[in-house]
Amino acid sequence: MTSWVVVDHVSKAYNGKKAVDDLSFHIDRGEIFALLGPNGAGKSTLIRMMTGLIQPDAGQIRMNGERVLPFKKEVKRYFSFLPETMSLYPNLTAGETLHFFSRLQRISRNRCDEVLDVVGLLEVKDKKIGGFSKGMRQRLGLAVALLDKAPLLILDEPTSGLDPYWASRFKEIIRRKKREGTSVFFASHDLYEVESLADRIAILNEGKLYYLGTVDDLKSKHPTEIRIQVRFEIPQDPDGLARELGVATFRRGDWIQLICRRDDKVRILRSLEKGGRKLADLHIHETTLEEIYRAISGGTPSPEMDKL
């Protein structure tokens, strides 16, 4: 894969305080890349620089080898952008809104109905958007971003305001864009969505990059334990099991819960049916991105973050 976007030692300060501090990463073609971080971490500042709305104080961002700068209109053809809040005219209908943006971008009118259909708004295309719900306005914003088949989609909190059905449809839309070869860069606070969608993630904190890589690598590097819950055909003694396997165990009614390291999982599972024991049922609770994220952003960040 080749890099479509290169963020190269980029910094931006407001009133002497760095909002983005020496960030470097790249986005490959056809890659889904998610940006995570607590409020004020610098996500929107980074997105504003990537979309050429503001200029970095230091470093540069390149798309397809060309430098992104506020006055440089040519690079705008490389991406479509869904801002966190989109200004839409309440007196226009959904159809008129799409036609407006399609004329601006010199895109065929037929494409408007196509994208309205994708976001489930074709049936209400003649309704004024002043009467739309928050979720419908968000879907309309997504339709505007999808109008142009640009090679990169940049989305700032794309599913905020979407109900679970449309949050799930959004994921299908993004996966389809990936299959078509589009790169997708999105900021989100929805860790479940990020975990199920992103090829790679970047976690920002106070403008700095705390983690860059896959969710799986983050999980394997992070020392969080997993829980295995088992029920045997003949009830077993949890303390005996703890001594035999060298893990912590707890009784939960008919079940025994074992806490072990992720890399110890296979050894534990192989041992469970030793000595004539027979499993009746089993659940494995793997650490989620949400649990890791809480662990690294909840307490004093540095010691945990340093291990990443």
Ligand X SMILES: Nc1ncnc2c1ncn2[C@@H]1O[C@H](COP(=O)(O)OP(=O)(O)OP(=O)(O)O)[C@@H](O)[C@H]1O
Can you give the binding site for ligand X, defined by CB under 6 A? 14, 19, 37, 39-45
Nearer to ligand X, 39 or 108 (CB): 39
CB atoms within 10 A of CB 105: 15
Residues 223-248 as b/e (b if ≥16 CB within 10 A, e otherwise) read ebebebebbbeeebebeebbeebebe
Nearer to ligand X, 85 or 220 (CB): 85
Radius of gyration of the chain (CA): 24
Nearer to ligand X, 147 or 203 (CB): 203
Compute the least distance from the CB of residue 20 to ligand X, in Å.
7
Compute the least distance from the CB of residue 265 to ligand X, in Å.
34
Q: Which helix (H) or strand (E) holds 139?
A: helix 134-147
Nearer to ligand X, 54 or 259 (CB): 54
Whole-angstrom Cα distance, residue 143 to residue 165? 17
- What are residue 213's DSSP bridge partners? 201
Whole-angstrom Cα distance, residue 92 to residue 270? 64
Nearer to ligand X, 49 or 256 (CB): 49
Which residue, chain included where needed, has tokens 């589009």? 182
Whole-angstrom Cα distance, residue 79 to residue 64? 11
Compute the least distance from the CB of residue 55 to ligand X, in Å.
13
